Structure 1
Amino acid sequence: MLTVTELRAAVEHRLDEAGRAWLDSALTDAAKSGPRPDAPGPARWELDFASAGRHVRTPQPATMTGRSAATDRPASDSPAAVAGPTPAAGPTPAAGPSEAASRTPGGPPGRDHPAEQAAPTETIAADHLAPHDLPDAARVLILHAARADAPTVARLYAHGTGAERRAVLRALPHLGLFAGPDAVPLVEDALRTNDTRLVAAAVGPYAALHLSPHSWRQAVLKCLFTGVPLTAVADWERRAQGDGELGRMLDDYARERTAAGRPVPGDLDRVLAMTRALPGAPRALTREES
């Protein structure tokens, strides 16, 4: 994950002069104002947060170091572009995989890579900051500069478009509230949607640190179900290791897919192997632990 300094440098590298001037002004205003819980209306930086998409969409050709420019895929060909537009309204309930409770895991069915695996990864790389990443990155920088607290991010998420909600989720590791569980309801709300970019943003470092075992297992299954790649799930190896309950759920999900004649996500085997990584048979968690 990029630091804030690295992220700002990457964004400025892709903007024209007008875009860089706007970003500098927005970050300066955000740093001066900060959270304003008692203000009668939104702070200036909150308006900049909402309008970022209109100001940071003019990328300059990136200077590629040690790689061919031909590998810098245009946004129209990127997985995120293929994923489709982000909804501007509230979350849409999604039908996810069932969590079967009584089946006995059997031999692994055949695995395949379904078409859904084309969903995006929510990682912003310094040397490959695509145009569709620019508004998200600018909003992350604004939230960090404003030192946005839990009530502020909750309000921005509740009233924001899909893109604004995604930026709130991606900003969580850079904010002071990262250490506490106050933003867990936002993550859980995003995981109830069918927006794959929102789901991918929700399973970042904050979710890895704060989601309960049950909610995190459901998040992993939601990613597999919607085609969000495993690379979007922060710290999944640590949380999946030796998790017998997650292994049981994955086996049940694979059986359901196979019985329905549908391919099983290729990422499933990787997670399933990690649940069995500790010596001996994995121990199923008790109800209290789950």
Structure 2
Amino acid sequence: MTHPRPTTGAPAAGNQDSRPAPSRPQPTEGVPPTPLALTPPPTLHAHLTTHLAGAARAWLDQALEEAAANPGTHGPISVWELRLAEAGRRCGSEYADAARVLILHAARADTDAVTRVYFQGTGAERRAVLHALPHLVPGPDALPLIEDALRTNDTGLLAAAVGPYAARHLDPHQWRHAVLKCLFTGVSVSAVADLEGRARADAELARMLGDYAAERTAAGRPVPEDLYRVLALTESGSTPPPHGSAHPHGKES
């Protein structure tokens, strides 16, 4: 299905568009290039072992040993939950998410445990839970956590929520709205796991994207470039073009 692209103020023929091309997203310092949710825990552990300073590395090793020895809940709060709260201070903010994912994995946190941590934790701890879900919960039982994150406007939670767990378990209606929520909030669609596979030939998603683009254009507001990247997938199933390359509808981005 082909949708006409609304006019977005393209320069007249013969005039060079002087607007700078959108910058490419840069990898976050302190985490491996592969997203946390897709990185096997042993690989993640090896990465942190290489990058953490001696004291932080020793703290993480001890925290993982404690979590493995005391899985689940012991008393009002488990020892590994305390370590989750300490991770930012002990490992630094750039490594804290990865450290928390490893602790959750070592503790063999089940659906009840991750649900408790998510709803009682800070935003950073909630984000780590979302990253850890594919490693911990094989079925859809933790979907309420994804659904909660998708109701927020916290871009960090949203980016973590549209990872591989959502790709596996959100139904088509929920998944389409998750993609739209990324567009609403400015979260890059590159965060959406299995975007190409799930968007391919999705006529309803194409309709929703077309409606959203028309609304933005009618209001005199710019249409996100990511919208057209996803729309191209619904039409052809092809890989979305990189930022700065020729636009699928003929305009240079």
Match of 2:110 in 1: 149
Residue 31 of structure 1 and its aligned partner are, at CA, apart by 0.5
Would you say 1:49 and 2:8 are equivalent positions?
no
Would you say 1:242 and 2:201 are equivalent positions?
yes
Match of 1:112 in 2: none
Q: Whose relative contact order is higher, 1 or 2, with alpha carbons under 8 Å and at least 6 apart?
A: 1
For 1:64-75, what aligned pairs fall within 5 Å after superposition?
none
Q: Which one-letter code corresponds to 1:10 in the other structure? A: H
Match of 1:30 in 2: 67
Q: Which one-letter code corresponds to 2:99 in the other structure? A: A
SS at match of 1:182: helix
Cα shift readout 1:110-136 (whole Å, capped 9, x = no counterpart): xxxxxxxxxxxxxxxxxxxxxx43110
Match of 2:140 in 1: 181
Q: Which one-letter code corresponds to 2:84 in the other structure? A: F
Match of 2:189 in 1: 230
Cα shift readout 1:163-213 (whole Å, capped 9, x = no counterpart): 0000000011211x1x21111010010011111011000000000000011
Among 52, 76, 100, the alignment partner of 1:15 is 52
Residue 274 of structure 1 and its aligned partner are, at CA, apart by 1.4
Among 211, 217, 223, the alignment partner of 1:252 is 211
Same amino acid, percent of matched pairs: 63
Residue 7 of structure 1 and its aligned partner are, at CA, apart by 0.8
Q: Which one-letter code corresponds to 1:28 in the other structure? A: E
Cα shift readout 1:198-252 (whole Å, capped 9, x = no counterpart): 1000000000000011110000000011111111000011111111111100000
Residue 26 of structure 1 and its aligned partner are, at CA, apart by 0.1
- Partner Cα separation in structure 2 for residue 133 and residue 167 of structure 1: 12
For 1:96-107, what aligned pairs fall within 5 Å after superposition?
none
- Partner Cα separation in structure 2 for residue 24 and residue 151 of structure 1: 25
TM-score, normalisation: structure 1: 0.67
- Partner Cα separation in structure 1 for residue 170 and residue 94 of structure 2: 26
Question: How many residues end up aligned between the 2 structures?
Answer: 200
Among 162, 166, 176, the alignment partner of 1:207 is 166
Residue 277 of structure 1 and its aligned partner are, at CA, apart by 2.1
Match of 2:120 in 1: 159
The structure richer in helix per residue is 2
Residue 40 of structure 1 and its aligned partner are, at CA, apart by 2.8
Match of 1:168 in 2: 129
User: C-alpha root-mean-square deviation of aligned residues, in Å?
Assistant: 1.1
Would you say 1:265 and 2:231 are equivalent positions?
no
